[in-house]
Amino acid sequence: MLKFQTLLTTANVALVIGLVSQLLFSSRIVLQWIQSERARRVLVPTLFWQISLVSSFLMLVYGLLRHDPVILGAQLISYAIYVRNLQLLGEWGKLPGWFRAAAYVLPMALLSWFVAGNRHFSLRAMLGTDIPGGLLLLGTVGQAIFLLRFVYQWIYSERRGESSLPLSFWVISLVGSLLILAYAVLRRDVVLFIGNVFGTVVYARNIVLLRRQLALVPLSSAVADDAKAGK
């Protein structure tokens, strides 16, 4: 019994939740990667956003348990953007009512519990974090850039009236991921390290695929113009 209680420390529970979250994050990237490779162009399935939403909630819990303001702030913004992308895709209303209700209620209840404080996590404990200022700045800048990709993608999608991931999204993703990777190494955060090592590879590959795709567009237009001229 004592051994079991030892395993259920806050740190160990946080680690398990974080690893599960990163496993889900990685699965969505693998899903997007496979579909894009098959189509030879970048595709983003609806399931990508659904998995992202669940993963983001788990990372929110992980950030609270770690008392890490960098992770917490990033996931709060990301969570809202994932919901919005599902709305833009017209898929949000198709989800079960209980899931949509939980998606709104659970984060708010968790944050209220965090502010009130408990023995596992509290706002007071996070404000008294012992993370060095320079390291905190590095993580904040990395997460800010990483989040900027979704702010940019959000604005881009709102203007187009549909959920879309342009080339700039993947470039910003790669830069932000590399900075967070450095933060993870210095912070000795296994969860962030695992998630971002794999992510950088996929982001770089999507940049290559999109550049090829964009290079073919002018060529296709030119062929079409030549065909019209021939008529």
Question: For 120-166, how does the pLDDT look when each residue is reduced to its tens digit (9 = 90+)?
Answer: 888 887 877 777 778 888 888 888 888 788 778 778 888 888 777 78
Which of the two residues, 207 and 8, has the higher pLDDT score?
207
As a whole number of angstroms, the distance between CA 138 and CA 142 comes to: 6
Check if the beta carbon of residue 151 is closer than 8 Å to that of residue 159. no
Residue 226 has pLDDT above 60, yes or no: no
Percent pLDDT > 70 in the chain is: 89
Q: Over range 55-64, report the average pLDDT.
A: 90
Residue 218 has pLDDT above 60, yes or no: no
Q: Over range 11-37, report the average pLDDT.
A: 83
Q: Give residue 227's pLDDT.
A: 41
As a whole number of angstroms, the distance between CA 59 and CA 88 comes to: 23
How many domains is the chain built from?
1
What is the pTM assigned to this prediction?
Answer: 0.69
Q: Over range 195-221, report the average pLDDT.
A: 75
User: What is the residue range of 9's domain?
Assistant: 2-230
Q: Give residue 106's pLDDT.
A: 92
Q: Give residue 8's pLDDT.
A: 59
Which of the two residues, 3 and 122, has the higher pLDDT score?
122
Q: Identify the DSSP state of 114.
A: H
Q: Give residue 119's pLDDT.
A: 81
Write the CB contacts of 154 (distance below 8 Å, at least 6 apart in sequence). Answer: 81, 84, 85
First and final CA of the chain: distance in angstroms? 83
Residue 42 has pLDDT above 50, yes or no: yes
The amino acid occupying position 214 is L
Looking at every residue in the chain, the average pLDDT score rounds to: 80
3-state SS, 46-97, equals HHHHHHHHHHHHHHHHHHHHHCCHHHHHHHHHHHHHHHHHHHHCCCHHHCCH
